[in-house]
Amino acid sequence: IGAIPFMMNLNVTLDTDDVSFGRSVASAVRATSPGGLPGVQAMAFPHEGKVEVACNVDLLPTERLSSTENMQPSLGGKYYHTPAEVIRDRILSEAQGIGAIGTTLVGFTPEEAYARASYALTHGHAEAWKSVERIMM
């Protein structure tokens, strides 16, 4: 049995077909870039004639952070993550006026995951994950 740390995905489809522009936007929000968002991994690729900026959002232990500004506490404040709204807003800011034609959040916040797992376990619903739907922002 294996497990991975919490991860959420946020995909923002920009109203452009310029993949190199999308890559520059993705680079600007990436945690490894100067001024990037903590815990965010990002890439851009063509998607249905437009460009999608796809972000993985990691849950970070408090001790690894120098600041929790613009981050949301999780699991009793022991961890933090950059909220989807902050990531989406930064992508749109970096997009220099090019709008988003769609935003999709895949996964749950840690609190939502905990609540769903607790409910499933206490109600004997071992396969609750099969009935989950995507959230469109």
* Chain segment 29-86, per-residue pLDDT in tens: 999 999 999 999 999 999 999 999 999 999 888 888 888 888 988 877 888 899 999 9
Closest CA to 84 of 32, 36, 22, 12: 12
Contact at 8 Å (CB) between 11 and 106?
A: yes
Mean pLDDT of 77-105: 93
**Residue 83: CB partners within 8 Å, gap ≥ 6?**
70, 71, 72
CA 105 to chain centre: 7
Q: Is the pLDDT of residue 125 over 70?
A: yes
Q: Starting at the edge strand that comes first in sequence, how are the strands of the sheet with 79-81 ordered?
A: 60-61, 79-81, 72-74
Strand order in the sheet with 135-136: 40-47, 50-58, 7-14, 100-106, 135-136
**Cβ count within 10 A of residue 41:** 18
pTM (global) more than 0.85: no
Fold of 7-130: Alpha-Beta Plaits (3.30.70)
User: 52 has which bridge partners?
Assistant: 13, 45
Span 23-33, pLDDT tens digits: 999 999 999 99
